[in-house]
Amino acid sequence: MRILQSVFLLTCLVASGCSPEQDDTLSPAPDLIVLNADIHTVDAAMPRVEAFAVSNGKFTALGTSAQMQALASEQTLVIDAGGVSVIPGLIDGHTHLIGGAGLATGVDLSEIEDKNEWLRIVRDKTQKLPKGEWILGGAWDHNLSDGILPSKEMLDSVSPDHPVLLKDIDHHSSWANSLAIELADITANSAVPPGGEILVDAESGELTGIFLEGAANLFNDAPGMRAATDPVAGLKAAIVTSAHDMSGNIDAFLTVLADGGLTLRIWQGGFARGATPAQAFADLSAERQRVRQAVTADSRSATMGPLLDIGYVKMMIDGVLSTHTAMMKEAYSDKPDAEVQPFMSYEALAAMVVAAHDAEFPVAVHAIGDQGVSWVLDAFAASPRSENMPMDRVEHIEVVTEEDLLRFKSLGVAASMQPHHATCCVGNYVIERIGRDRLPSAYAWRQMLDNDIPLVLGSDWATSPLNPLIQMADTLHRETRIDGVVRPWDDNNTLSFAEAIYGYTQAGANVTTWSDQIGSISVGKWADFVVLDERLPENIDRKLENRQVTATYLAGIRVYPGVESD
């Protein structure tokens, strides 16, 4: 497991003459002390220290190694970090831990350009499974190859006896073989949700094997599909310190919680489904209450802090740029006749936002195109909300106009963005889709921060790497392949490392009800922290992505590379 973190402004180097920051109301004899470390706290009051102490699962003192050593008793566990960097527990602001189950247990085609290699990997997987079992996963990107969508016949040639359903890197297109289509009983005339499409060959009238957006849901009830989707396996294969999960499968997390295996904090997004918005949120409120009762009944809550909550409602208004399904104010540069259908009408979106706020749910809406972003901001502007709720959010925001960007601050809306989407995709297809004139409006991290807009960073795993080190490194170099050359495409929009680490820690906590409990190495907060394999240099560059994590702690207990034994 690779992770990373931090550097903040060096405004307080703690020297031996300084007094430590300490909570004197807690036990003076810590349970754990970390000494001789390069600690980046992401706490402006004391950004850089050598050591800290932990008692009862919380940080209780920060200072020099000598100061912390003086607090120890014979029972204190003392860890000498050997000078390496230690950072706060990382918070992934947008991920699909459950939805990534297929990728964790199936085939992973990410970053592979050769379609023949895709087929070889699928063929190898068939040899490890009994005939008839589903092969899931994917993360394929035809834009890395020849730009041509794959076909069902390609999969048929290597997997005639195993149904195959592979999502693309964006999770907005799915590629199936003939057996999978047959088992799901899908035809060209099958009804699909708004925005979905079953691609059909214009000459033969045959299904191509590609299913856009919600059309992939037609496979959900196919024989064997539910057994093949193991959400718990996906969760355990994708552990990070904390995550804002977008999968909506709360039962999987409750199962892991009940088994005592939940070793990360989950701020879960719920999906509101019902005959009316009011009924949908009545049901979701009841579900939230069920979760909170389960968490309260779990004895670990008192010693580990917050572990699970349905903290917001997730909605989607549009698709993605790669398949021309993101809602744009101007026509696509490479397909001006593309007709984009929103996933719901503006009126339906606005009604859902009002109902969510009435039920005390903040809202997070997937909006990638600038028209989709504008719709969401309009809906937020039209809905009153309690000031006590966490902020509403727009997810992804891959293109935004300057006018709408400025509305984020006035409306108190957070920008939730995923760095690797810029570096992986701009040269592959984004320039073709929106043209170079609109490129300054894409992935506008810098503009968000320059306008004092809260910027929450995440991975959107499994559409891009879960590893926060890669994601943060992407914000530092902002490079992509253009005209065959990997280079920065808009270096005026890069972030500093301090900004990137904040976006992956405290910023994620700030849009929850846990902001004063996690997000930084601060006295009184739960002791979530990560130990790296080396000391980070003062000038951090893209080599950050090569760092390794040697240990991860949650509430002072090591959960990676394994829970500590007594």
**DSSP for 40-90, written as a single string:** E---TTS-EESEEEEETTEEEEEE-HHHHHTT--TT-EEEE-TT-EEEEPP
Regions of the chain short of the pLDDT cut 70: 1-28, 99-105, 228-239, 562-566
pLDDT number for residue 11: 25
Quick one: DSSP state of residue 200?
A: E
Fill in the amino acid letter for 505: T
In the chain, domain spans: 21-89+524-560, 101-228, 238-510
Q: Output the DSSP codes for 246-279.
A: -S--HHHHHHHHHTT---SEEEEEE---SSSHHH
Q: What angle is formed at CA 98 by the lines to CA 97 and CA 103, rounded to 5 degrees? A: 80
- Structure token pair of residue 359: 């039920």
Closest CA to 364 of 395, 389, 342: 395
**Separation CA 489–CA 422 (nearest Å):** 10
Cβ atoms of 42 and 505 closer than 8 Å? yes
Tell me the CA end-to-end span of the chain in Å, nearest whole number: 23
What global pTM score does this model have? 0.82
CATH code reported for the domain at 101-228? 3.10.310.70
Which run of H or E residues covers position 301? helix 300-304
pLDDT digits (tens, 9 = 90+) for 241-266: 899 999 888 988 998 898 888 889 99
Quick one: DSSP state of residue 427?
A: I
Query: In CATH, what is the architecture of 21-89+524-560?
Result: Roll (2.30)
Say how many C-beta atoms besides its own lie within 10 A of residue 390's C-beta.
Answer: 18
Residues 25-40: b if buried by 16+ CB within 10 A, e if exposed: ebeeebbbbbbbbbbb
Same fold, 21-89+524-560 and 238-510: no
Q: Which residues pair with 267 in a beta bridge?
A: 244, 309
Kindly give the pairing relationship between strand 207-212 and strand 173-176.
Answer: antiparallel
CATH 3.30.565.10 fits 238-510, yes or no: no
